[in-house]
Amino acid sequence: MRRLLTGLCLVGFLFSSCSDDEPMPTVFTSLYDAGGEGDSLSCDTGLPVLSFHTADGQGLYDKETWRKATLAVWTHETGWGPTDSVLLRGRGNATWKFPKKPFNLKFTRKQSLLGMPSHKRWVLLANYHDRTLLRNALTFHLGSLMEGLAWTPRFRYAEVLFNGHHVGNYLVCEQVRTGKNRVDIEEMTPSDMEGEALTGGYLLHFDKYYDEPVCFRTSICHWPVAVKSPDEDDIQPVQLQYIRDYVNDCEALMKKGKFDPVHDLLLDYRSFADYYIIQTLSGNKELREPRSVYAYKERGGPLCAGPLWDFDFSTYINPEASFNRNAIWYHYLFHDPVFVAVLKERWTATSAVLLRESEAFLDSMSLKLDVSQRLNFQIFPIRNDIVHKYLNHDEALPYGAALERMKTVVGQRIGVMDRYISSM
């Protein structure tokens, strides 16, 4: 039987000890007896608990080195489940610099996590600078409602314990990977080098950091493109050349205004319309940079937009935010009447649903996260001197006020977008 003991303990930071000017915070705790591990959590927040213990008792210090660890999962329905062997490493670019770190999780075999479909790879997002903790989750939820987006990451909220210490609220979500339960495209092999086999599947990542092992820049706009699948160990030169030529051909045709082959054969306009709607509803700036922008191509099929990723910064702030008119892809697509017609049709079909679902989601999650967010921001208060370049402008608001602000912005943004798209 799980035993509860109360006491006072120091809550350690997730990856390294505090510096001299960053003293460890303290909280009152209860000890969950998980096989003698002595994991500490202040109270039952209503969320599941993920408890990690590294093999050497140390934290995660970089984004490259996989470290051996164990994972035990506690839920109200099952109590503590069996302990699994896992690998962990850091992740993120700007977010890796924050005190509360995001990290990657890899199982030794495919398995479900918190009821989500089986896979080896998962992500734990810290949402350090998101006062609502909901920007990524709301976007994923709305994306899952869009029929043109074949897959959007599923997610669950959980309390995370690291080497016995409570390190706050995390968004546990599916990583952008290929597979039956993720981006479901044909897994290419090194022998797929001609005919239809050469046409897919490919998973592409457009990101200004341009730091992936297999990448190229497009010939006209110099968009940074990383090939995520096939992976670096399997991709063949002829495969890389094929997908590079495919993207460059799309770019060249759109620049010349020759859209017939683009909308008939090369791009899936329904996916690009739905992707645009969610990106623009959130007010995301990263579509223009580009950063965290994905596309994929199934064997024998057109290039599709998605999946959605990375919405914890500069989103849901301003109902008059940019409409991404000059963002990647859309710089050209808005010159094609066929795309504009598809976009209008998709907006008419989805705008009322998006408004209703966003309000319901934020209302329900505000109750679900109430206790958890209080503990989370006690452990990791948002420090403006750290996130000053990544402000969402609600950092100083009470939690309820931040949620109401977000709800108001979404409602107003839908009205603004309705007028904008209707006038095209």
Please give the DSSP secondary-structure letter assigned to residue 97. G
pLDDT at 38: 53
Give residue 241's Cα distance to chain centre.
29
Asked if residue 139 is part of any domain, the answer here is yes
- For residues 35 and 400, what is the distance between their CA atoms, to the nearest angstrom? 37
pLDDT at 145: 98
3 state DSSP class of 404: helix
pLDDT at 43: 84
- As a whole number, mean pLDDT of residues 94-100 equals 92
Contact present, 49 and 29 (Cβ < 8 Å):
no
Report the number of distinct structural domains present in the chain: 1
**Range scoring the smallest mean pLDDT among 23-27, 158-162, 209-213, 288-292:** 23-27
> What pLDDT digit, counting tens, does each position of 205-264 carry?
999 999 899 999 999 999 999 999 999 999 999 999 999 999 999 999 999 999 999 999
Residue 164 has pLDDT above 80, yes or no: yes
> pTM of the entire structure?
0.91
Contact present, 375 and 27 (Cβ < 8 Å):
yes
Packing angle of the helix pair 399-422, 269-282 (nearest 10 deg): 140
Q: Which candidate, 30, 25, 61, 59, places its Cα nearest to that of 44?
A: 30
Asked if residue 96 is part of any domain, the answer here is yes
Asked if residue 66 is part of any domain, the answer here is yes
Q: What pairs with residue 170 in β-bridges? A: 158
- For residues 63 and 92, what is the distance between their CA atoms, to the nearest angstrom? 8
Residue 7 has pLDDT above 90, yes or no: no
If residue 226 lies in a helix (H) or strand (E), which one and from where to where?
strand 224-229
By percentage, how much of the chain surpasses pLDDT 70?
91
- For residues 178 and 230, what is the distance between their CA atoms, to the nearest angstrom? 9
Q: Which two tokens stand for residue 221?
A: 């706009």
Asked if residue 239 is part of any domain, the answer here is no
pLDDT at 256: 97
Kindly report the average pLDDT of the chain as a whole number.
Answer: 90
Amino acid, single-letter form, for residue 240: L
Asked if residue 20 is part of any domain, the answer here is yes
pLDDT band at 408 (very low <50, low <70, confident <90, very high): very high
3 state DSSP class of 172: strand
pLDDT at 3: 29
pLDDT band at 8 (very low <50, low <70, confident <90, very high): very low
Domain housing 40: 4-174
Instruction: Spell out a b/e string for 161-176, using b for 16 or more CB atoms within 10 Å of the CB, else e.
Output: bbbbbbbbbbbbbbbb
Q: Which residue pairs, CB below 8 angstroms and at least 24 apart, start in 320-323?
A: 320/416, 321/280, 321/283, 321/413, 322/283, 322/285, 322/288, 323/280, 323/417, 323/420
Asked if residue 322 is part of any domain, the answer here is no
Residue 10 has pLDDT above 50, yes or no: no
- For residues 399 and 380, what is the distance between their CA atoms, to the nearest angstrom? 14
- 43 compared with 280, residue with greater pLDDT: 280
Residue 12 has pLDDT above 70, yes or no: no
pLDDT at 15: 41
> What pLDDT digit, counting tens, does each position of 346-364 carry?
999 999 999 999 999 999 9
- As a whole number, mean pLDDT of residues 187-200 equals 98
> What pLDDT digit, counting tens, does each position of 31-43 carry?
333 333 456 677 8
Residue 61 has pLDDT above 90, yes or no: no
- 140 compared with 15, residue with greater pLDDT: 140
Asked if residue 192 is part of any domain, the answer here is no
pLDDT at 115: 97
- 136 compared with 8, residue with greater pLDDT: 136
Residue 405 has pLDDT above 60, yes or no: yes
The label of the residue with tokens 């810290």 reads 126
pLDDT at 39: 61
Residue 29 has pLDDT above 70, yes or no: no
pLDDT at 40: 63
Asked if residue 394 is part of any domain, the answer here is no
